[in-house]
Structure 1
Amino acid sequence: MLKVRVPASTSNLGPGLDCLGLALKLYRTFEVSPGGPPAPEGDLVVQGLCEAFRRAGRKAPEVSVRWEGEVPVARGLGSSAAARVAGLMAGNGLLGEPFSKEELLDMAAELEGHPDNAAPALLGGLVVAVRTEGGVVWVRMDPPDGLFVALAVPEFSLDTERARKLLPGLVALKDAVYNISRAALLVAALAEGRCELLREATKDRLHQPYREPLVPGFGEVCRAALDAGACGVALSGAGPSVVALCFDDGWKVARAMADAWERSGVRAEPMALEPDRKGARYV
């Protein structure tokens, strides 16, 4: 039996579509045991485990999977990436750990389709990750000291694939330049702890305008976060959760966002979290 603890993650942070993610101190612990009642078909933990065994040229055993923790499903907080990373880690452990974290990240990104949540889930911290023909290339950074992540997690869920289908196949050059410049600014601002730059650096034109209709009250929630003192605010992943970056009172911002959603007729849970710096690990 193996236990793997994996952090939640928030991705994109505005302009960093499919390439930027931050691990959070919100966890799910997975217990994987060979034998016992097999996990249901399509289980994402089993999917990860089977991929590790396939890469090793071995037949995967039947396993049972149990989990506990606080990471909500289909809320834009990397729950699917956490499950797949847990399966890959469990598979690697059962195999005697033949794979490096770099190799596990390649597998996770292939299963997920992009590395933005898988990378911070596995590595912790703030990660810029890019898929190439030769695998995932990435840079991991420790988040700046004093950074808090305020969240408002609504009661409704949002399917990632549904949200992705809304995105256009082609975008205007001016919008591409807008995002490239702000994604670069965002990473630089976080590297130097420049709170005053984050309001501009978290703006986006490539995905949030198209996904906003699926998130009622999104504009009001963002304004409430900024009015309460957030440095920057964005959709968390594909949504529907909204994430705000703060260097002060994260709970004040989180409650302001939840209150704004209540005024839009949506119940939401406020959270104020520190970044996770360790990533997935055996427990």
Structure 2
Amino acid sequence: MICIKVPATTANLGVGFDCLGMALDIYSYFYFKPSKSLQISGCPTEYQNENNLVYQAYIEAMTELGIKPSPIKLVIKSDIPLERGLGSSSACVVAGVLGAYALAGHPVNQEKALALCTKIEGHPDNVAPALIGGLVASYQGDQILYTSRFPLHSSYKFLVLIPDFRTSTEIARELLPEKIDFTDAVSNQSKLLFATQALTSGDGPLLQEVMTDKLHEPYRKQLIHEVNIVSDLTKQAGALTVLVSGSGPTLLAIAQEKIDIDSLNDQLKELKHQWKCYKVNSDLEGATQC
């Protein structure tokens, strides 16, 4: 049986809408084995069929490799919560593609694998860090997908704040305006340049200054209950900035000082919805065969 390990991801990081993402040390494990018929376990019943995203990505990759896909037994063991803005669907896509490579006995061509993952997922901001690891910027050119990995400064600490409700990526994207103000576009573009500098240099005050997005967060926050309260509590606890992870509802907090997570969780218990704060690290390996 072949095992593929894929990290969770947090996309956008505020001002990096659709082009910046980071892998986190929360993992999904996918076990592949040739079978006489399709068998899937470890996920909700509605996904235990041909519509399973891992299986669909496996089929796409096998076809790309020029190999007739055969049925598989797929076992999923995941700590990445579904529909919470932590890249659960991207993990499935990456796993399906890498599982196909492994079952076919082909060495992974990372450039081709990333291009295929992006084609299936629709955009690279989650699949790129899931595959490569670390903090990754991506740009989809006319013919080539470009990625660049930035070294995170060791002073930064990361927290995820995960609620008991889900949000739909499709609905979150539908809320985005068709047109944006020219000044907002210039502002975000400028902030993104300095945000990447701050993340690599360890300049916390600069990071705090530039992590105010106007392209997507104001609209997506409409779907996140108690977002302002949770954000304020986390900043009071010592976070430099609190961002929407992907399309939400999970929030990503970045800090440089130690945050008392137990105390913060006690405060979160007072809210109507159940929020839970966890310390996470950036995963630097990306997807691997385990």
Cα distance between partner residues in 2 of 1:125 and 1:174: 31
- Percent identity between matched residues is 35
User: What's 1:55 paired with?
Assistant: 64
Structure 1 position 135, deviation (Å): 2.9
Instruction: State the one-letter code of the partner of 1:276.
Output: D
Q: Go from structure 1 to structure 2 and tell me whether the alpha carbon gap of 1:163 and 1:254 turns closer, same or farther (over 3 Å shift).
A: farther
1:3 alignment partner in structure 2: 3
Looking at structure 2, the residues matched to 213 and 234 of structure 1 have their Cα atoms a distance apart, in angstroms, of: 14
For residue 150 of structure 1, what is the amino acid of its counterpart?
A: L
Cα distance, 1:136 vs structure 2? 1.4
Residue of structure 2 equivalent to 1:14: 14
Shift of 1:98: 4.7
CA distance in 2, matches of 1:119, 1:146: 24
C-alpha deviation, 1:30, in angstroms: 0.6
Query: Aligned to 1:187, which of 196, 212, 215?
Result: 196
Specify the code of the residue in structure 2 equivalent to 1:274. N
**Is 1:76 matched with 2:85?**
yes
State the match for 2:150 in structure 1.
141
Cα distance in 2 for partners of 1:126, 1:254 equals 27
Contact 2:137 2:148 in 1 (8 A): yes
State the distance in 1 between where 2:208 and 2:106 align.
42
Q: Which amino acid aligns with 2:169?
A: T
Moved more, 28-37 or 161-170: 28-37
Q: Per-residue displacement from partner, 1:135-158 (whole Å, max 9, x unpaired)?
A: 310101232213221111001011
Q: Structure 1 residue runs of 4+, over 3 Å off?
A: 258-264
**What's the TM-score once normalised by structure 2's chain length?**
0.92
Aligned-partner Cα distance in 2 for 1:143–1:110: 28
| RMSD of Structure 2 on Structure 1 (CA) | 1.6
Pair 21,64 (structure 1): closer, same or farther in 2 beyond 3 Å? same
Q: Is the 8 A contact 1:126 1:141 kept in 2?
A: yes
1:1-283 alignment, distance < 5 Å: 1-35=1-35, 37-38=37-38, 39=40, 40-250=49-259, 252=260, 256=264, 258=265, 261-283=268-290
> Gapped runs of 5+ residues in structure 2?
41-48
Q: Secondary structure at the match of 1:47?
A: helix
Contact 2:22/2:135 (<8 A) preserved: yes
Distance 2:100 2:33 in 1: 11
- Count of aligned pairs: 281
Q: Distance in 2 between matches of 1:255 and 1:186?
A: 29
Q: Match of 1:184, as an amino acid?
A: L
CA contact (8 A) 2:27 2:78 kept: yes
- Using the size of structure 1 for normalisation, the TM-score is 0.94
| Matched-pair contact (CA < 8 Å) for 1:147–1:274 | no
Structure 1: which 5+ residue stretches go unaligned?
A: none
On the 8 A contact 1:30/1:86 being kept in 2, the answer is yes
Aligned counterparts of 1:88 and 1:187: Cα–Cα separation in 2 = 29
